[in-house]
Amino acid sequence: MTTHTQVDAAVDIAGVTKRYGSLVAVDDVSVRVAPGEVYGVLGPNGAGKTTLLRMLFGLIRPDSGTIRVFGRTWHEAGVHTLDGVAGFIESPKFYPYLTGRQNLEGLGLLDGSTDGRDLSARIEEVLDVVDLTGRDRDKVGGYSYGMRQRLGVAASLLRSPRLLVLDEPANGLDPAGIRDMRAVVKRLAASGLTVLLSSHHMDEVEEICDNVTIMNRGSVAFHGTIDDLRAMAPDPGHLLRTGDDHEALAIGRVGHPRVLVEPGPDGGLVATGPEHELSAYVADLVRAGVPLRAFTPTRTPLEALFFMLTDDEREAVR
Ligand SMILES: Nc1ncnc2c1ncn2[C@@H]1O[C@H](COP(=O)(O)OP(=O)(O)O)[C@@H](O)[C@H]1O
Ligand SMILES: [Mg+2]
């Protein structure tokens, strides 16, 4: 039986578990993606993101729990579960000795959803969405990694999906590649397409997602909106470079009990506390004549929260 609410969700992953021997790669995870939203599954390497998405694509089976895609389960609908779904796991694969356009033509013909003329118009459209117009007659072998990732998105869009699933689309890209990929995802989101993506960068998820599930070692560490997440974020640490760390430590200890000042891991000091207390502390340093050379956040509050939730000890102290 299918209830109304189940049909409403683009993706409804309920209590899914996947084990590899004694390792629980995905541990009782539930994720609900509403139509039209951009949903992020965030977690460090090994958190279970790819395993979760592989189960959604039917590449592996969950040990327990159910996955519904637009209300359909693999058990009931088989390969039709993926009607209207496109995307890629890890990296998309193309023929390097063919051009980007030839790869798309081949895929479009195999898919058989459009005739030759429609296909060529559709190829123009998707090339435009991923900013590859003008490079489509170059061989894929000469593409940058970022261009290949974007061609992967173009190939997915050829099928005019209702749901796009992307596994770490920005992974391995340089800063320009990351920026371009984010622009593509934002454009797709604005067009009303439902997007489910995984990432290990908080700032990426913060920038483009409405809702997020943070996974850590297979389990859900957080689940909610980006705003909920912001409300939980701790005070960010600031890296402080002074001409007199000894004096700066003393001023913190004596006059600013709500600011924690401690030696930083790579030299300098790290000051942590509520924003206005930090400002008062810095003002006192200046007043006391301590030379101030740098005052920079060690990370954004959300990044700090991410490292707390995923208990990455090494990163958390930085
Ligand atoms: N086929 C497999 N056999 C054994 N262990 C696996 C397999 N696939 C993934 N794992 C393990 O499951 C955990 C989650 O992996 P993965 O889903 O790839 O994480 P992520 O994508 O978040 O980096 C890791 O510890 C990984 O080593
Ligand atoms: Mg992965």
Judge residue 75's burial from the number of C-beta atoms within 10 Å of its C-beta, 0-12 exposed, 13-18 middle, 19 or more buried: exposed
Bridge partners for 23 per DSSP: 20
Among 30, 25, 26, CA closest to 11: 30
Same domain, 157 and 219: yes
- Note whether 65 and 17 are within 8 A (CB): yes
Given the DSSP bridges, would you call strands 23-33 and 11-20 parallel, antiparallel or unpaired?
Answer: antiparallel
CB atoms within 10 A of CB 247: 15
Q: Is residue 91 within 8 Å of 76, Cβ to Cβ?
A: no
Residue 306 lies in a domain: no
Query: How many angstroms separate the CA atoms of 219 and 46, rounded?
Result: 11
Residues flanking ligand 1, CB < 6 Å: 20, 23, 25, 43, 45-51
Do residues 160 and 270 both lie within one domain? no
pLDDT of residue 18: 98
Site to probe by mutation for ligand 1, drawn from 19, 42, 45, 51 as the one with most ligand atoms within 8 Å of Cβ, is 51
Task: Say which CATH number the domain at 19 has.
Answer: 3.40.50.300
Give yes or no: residues 213 and 279 share one domain: no
CATH of the domain at 273: 3.30.70
Core vs surface per residue 28-63: b (16+ CB within 10 A) or e: ebebbbeeebbbbbbbbeebbbbbbbbbbbeeeebe
Our count of domains for the chain comes to 2
CA of 49 to the centre of ligand 1 (A): 8
- Asked whether residue 312 is assigned to any structural domain, the reply reads no
Per-residue pLDDT of the chain (318 residues; tens, 9 = 90+): 444 544 579 999 999 999 999 999 999 999 999 999 999 999 999 999 999 999 999 999 999 999 999 999 988 998 899 989 999 888 888 999 999 999 999 998 887 666 666 888 999 999 998 999 999 999 999 999 889 999 999 999 988 899 999 999 988 888 888 888 899 898 898 888 999 999 988 888 988 899 999 999 999 999 999 888 888 877 778 999 999 999 999 999 999 999 999 998 888 999 998 888 999 999 999 999 999 999 988 877 788 788 878 875 444 433
* CA of 45, closest atom in ligand 1: 23
Residues 38 and 90 in one domain: yes
Ligand 1 atom with the smallest distance to the CA of 44 is 22
Contact 54, 90 (CB under 8 A): no
Q: Is residue 223 part of a domain?
A: yes
Does residue 106 fall inside a structural domain?
yes
Atom of ligand 1 nearest to the CA of 21: 4
Identify which of 13, 17, 20, 22 to mutate to test ligand 1's pocket (most ligand atoms within 8 A of the CB). Answer: 20
- Look at residues 183, 204, 231 and tell me which one is the last residue of a structural domain: 231
Kind of pairing, strands 237-242 and 292-297?
A: antiparallel
Tell me which residue of 158, 183, 161 sits closest to 35, measured CA to CA: 161
- Dist. CA 46 → ligand 2 center (Å): 7
Residues 168, 242: one domain? Answer: no
Q: What is the pLDDT of residue 115?
A: 60
Residue 47 CA: nearest ligand 1 atom is 22
- For residue 103, being part of any structural domain is answered with yes
Q: What integer pLDDT is reported at residue 163 of this predicted model? A: 95
Mutating to test ligand 1, I would choose from 23, 52, 213 the residue with most ligand atoms within 8 A of its C-beta, which is 23
Kindly give the distance from the C-alpha atom of residue 149 to the centroid of ligand 1, in angstroms, as a whole number: 21
Same domain, 153 and 244: no
Separation CA 11–CA 199 (nearest Å)? 18
Q: Which domain holds residue 279?
A: 237-298
**314 domain residue, yes or no:** no
Please give the pLDDT value at position 6: 45
**pLDDT value at residue 103:** 95
pLDDT of residue 116: 60
The whole-number pLDDT of residue 110 equals 82
112 and 212 within one domain: yes
Q: Is residue 48 assigned to a domain?
A: yes
For residue 60, the ligand 1 atom closest to its alpha carbon is 1
Å from CA of 89 to ligand 1 middle: 13
Q: SS in 3 state form for 86-99?
A: EEECCCCCCCCCCE
pLDDT at 317: 39
Residue 75 Cα to ligand 2 midpoint, Å, equals 25
Question: Which residue's CA lies nearest to atom 25 of ligand 1?
Answer: 46
166 and 286 co-located in one domain: no
Query: Which ligand 1 atom sits closest to the C-alpha of 168?
Result: 21
Same domain, 159 and 269: no
Ligand 2 centroid–CA 49 distance in Å is 5
173 CA to centre of ligand 1 in angstroms: 21
43 and 181 fall within a common domain: yes
The answer to whether residues 281 and 170 belong to one domain is no
What letter represents residue 141's amino acid?
G
Residues 287 and 196 in one domain: no
How far from the centroid of its chain's Cα atoms is residue 225's Cα? Answer: 14
Torsion of CA 165, 153, 76, 40, to 10 degrees: 10
> How far is ligand 2, taken at its centre, from the CA of residue 165, in Å?
13
Q: What is the value of pTM for the model shown?
A: 0.82
Q: Is residue 309 part of a domain?
A: no
pLDDT value for 314: 45
What is d(CA 290, CA 298) in angstroms, rounded to the nearest whole number? Answer: 21
